């Protein structure tokens, strides 16, 4: 398990195994790839981030992940894999993390609280210092996930 502080100095625990903190996480976060690029959404307040959100009543986290990707970017998921989970105990937040390959992106009339899809070839090396990016991209969650994805070579 990895433990570190987030952008706002709150403790975060992260682990790359099945349900390390909760069997019923209330949030999902989806690292999306499309044709060799990263697919982000532009949150109206927070800025660029991978899509995600709350699991609805009676919904499975995996279904919530695909729904949130679509609602925030108009993208249809081709393949999706659970990779891990993180928790911020002070906020009572627990999120499943997924890696998804996007099939196609279809323009939508609106994208809920976001301005829709943004494709980037590379994520900034110093994302912590980039004002365009959301705080949720600025802690060990993204850093460790990218290392994990590189190491395990999941599609």
In the complex, the residues that contact ligand GTP under the rule CB under 6 A are: 6, 12, 29, 88, 91, 93, 95, 136, 139
In angstroms, what is the minimal distance from the CB of 50 to ligand GTP? 9
- CA-based nearest residue to 75, from 28, 38, 44, 117: 117
91 versus 103: smaller Cβ distance to ligand GTP: 91
Residue 89 beta carbon to ligand GTP: minimum distance, rounded to whole angstroms = 11
Distances (CA, A) of 23 to 1, 34, 71, 140, 150: 17, 29, 24, 22, 26
Name which of 12 and 107 has its Cβ closer to ligand GTP. Answer: 12
How far apart CA 104 and CA 59 sit, in angstroms, is 24
- 63 versus 106: smaller Cβ distance to ligand GTP: 63
Cβ-based nearer residue to ligand GTP, 93 or 127: 93
Nearest residue relative to ligand GTP (C-beta): 6
Q: State in angstroms the smallest separation of the CB of 51 from ligand GTP.
A: 11
DSSP state of 137: G
- Alpha carbon of 99 to those of 30, 56, 153: distances in Å? 6, 20, 11
CB of 144 to ligand GTP, least distance (A): 13
Cα separation, 120 vs 147, whole angstroms: 18
């Amino acid at each position: 398990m990895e433990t570190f502080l987030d952008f706002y100095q709150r403790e975060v625990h992260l682990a790359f195994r099945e349900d390390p903190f909760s069997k019923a996480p209330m949030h999902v976060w989806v690292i999306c790839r499309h044709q060799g690029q990263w697919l982000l959404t532009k949150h109206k307040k927070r800025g660029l981030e991978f899509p995600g959100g709350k699991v609805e009543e009676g919904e499975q986290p995996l279904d919530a992940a695909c729904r949130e990707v679509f609602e925030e970017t108009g993208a249809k998921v081709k393949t999706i894999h659970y990779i891990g989970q993180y928790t911020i105990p002070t906020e009572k937040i627990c999120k499943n993390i997924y890696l998804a390959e996007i099939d196609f992106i279809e323009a939508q009339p609106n994208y809920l609280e976001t301005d829709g899809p943004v494709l980037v070839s590379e994520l900034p090396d110093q994302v912590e210092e980039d004002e365009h990016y959301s705080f949720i991209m600025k802690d060990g969650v993204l850093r460790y996930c990218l290392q994990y994805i590189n190491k395990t070579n999941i599609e």
